[in-house]
Amino acid sequence: MNKWINNNNFAKIIALCISLILWLMVHLDSSESISGINDSVSTRTIDNVRVQIYNLDESKYVVYGLDPERVTLEVRGKRTKLTSLFSEDDYKVKLDLNHVTPGSRTLPLKCELPNGVECVSITPSTAHITIEAKASKEVQASVITTGVPAEGYEIGTPVLKNDGKVKVTLPSSEIEDLGKIQGVVNVTGINSDITGKSVKLIAYDKAGDEMEDAEISPSSIDVDVPVIKLYKSIPIELKSTGSLPAGYALSGVTSSAEQVVVYGSKDALDKISSYPITVDLGNFTGDGDSSEYTVSLTPPEGFEKIEPGSLEITIKATPFEKKNTK
């Protein structure tokens, strides 16, 4: 035993152990002191906390005029709790509207805080708010078009699903100001029908301003917009050329239709008044009092289409001797 004690290495080991024990004692004591400081109770002031409305029956009531919308909150708790990042999900200032009837009210504000944190004060501690009942009515929606279709086309009257009936809900004080429910379809450059397009509806008051508080059900509506080719019905103008066989006198020339329909731009349609057809009398064969032949029709210059595409021409003639006996 005396041999170990007198050994220099053994003495070093003993000294090291004693030093380690002393270091641990000092460290643990310091940690406990710091922990005690961190867990001490403290206060914190949080500015600009939003007032949140609870227990409002939004199907029946609307609120406006909330004052103030944000408040200052003073809270107390352990320092470790209060140094965490502020969140409106954890630190709430609530305005409870449960069982509150329509009208203007000044109501107390309440806190909802994390565990271990208590509310010292809310500044201001009350909020003023106005509650109003909602009113609904069924109205006829409309859809207008904007823009210009492709050349040679025009827009027909939009057709709305379910006859365009919608339900509009507004604060009761505004329901009589409702002017119209309207949607807009852009038809710029189109040349074919629009079918089943969903159009957002907007409420406007009688002055034409948008009513942002309006609830529209449904909020959009399906619309069909017919796109029509511009056309015009014009009379046929028959002109004759050539000559009948010898011994015949012309009695008359007729066509199977008196009018044709031409399709084109508005400017072109405004300028045309008739469609000329030149009848060649040489097509009369002399077999009987009349001869028929088919003539193909082509659209006039600047027009897209003509209907019908062809028609029958009838040439009537009478022999001289038969005509003289009459």
Per-residue pLDDT tens for 260-304?
A: 999 988 889 999 999 999 999 988 887 778 899 999 999 999 898
**Domain boundary residue, one of 181, 201, 229:** 229
Q: Residue 238 belongs to a domain with what CATH number?
A: 2.170.120.40
Q: Residue 2: which pLDDT band, with cuts at 50, 70 and 90?
A: low
- What is the count of structural domains for the chain? 3
- Tell me, what's the pLDDT at 9? 65
- Tell me, what's the pLDDT at 38? 53
| Residue 70: inside a domain | yes
Cis bond upstream, residue 218 (ω within 30): yes
**Domain boundary residue, one of 194, 229, 264:** 229
| Residue 30: inside a domain | no
CA neighbor of 221 nearest in space, from 181, 279, 164, 179: 164
Whether residue 258 sits in one domain with residue 213: no
167 token code pair: 């339900």
What is the residue-averaged pLDDT of the chain? 87
Phi, psi of 214 (to 5 degrees): -70, 135
CA-angle at 263, arms to 193 and 184, nearest 5°? 30
For range 121-149, the mean pLDDT: 95
Whether residue 241 sits in one domain with residue 315: yes
pLDDT tens-digit series, residues 181-236: 999 999 999 999 999 999 999 999 999 999 998 999 999 999 999 998 899 999 99
**Domain boundary residue, one of 183, 213, 229:** 229
Whether residue 286 sits in one domain with residue 242: yes
DSSP letters of 34-100? HHHHHTSEEEEEEEEEEEEEES--TTTEEEEEEE-SEEEEEEEEEHHHHTSPP-TTTSEEEEE-TTP
Beta-carbon count within 10 A of 123 CB:
12
Whether residue 217 sits in one domain with residue 150: yes
| Residue 31: inside a domain | no
Domain that holds residue 116: 41-124
| Residue 129: inside a domain | no
Whether residue 143 sits in one domain with residue 193: yes
- Tell me, what's the pLDDT at 67? 96
- Tell me, what's the pLDDT at 179? 96
Distance CA 220, CA 198 (A): 6
Whether residue 296 sits in one domain with residue 214: no
Whether residue 251 sits in one domain with residue 168: no
Whether residue 296 sits in one domain with residue 212: no
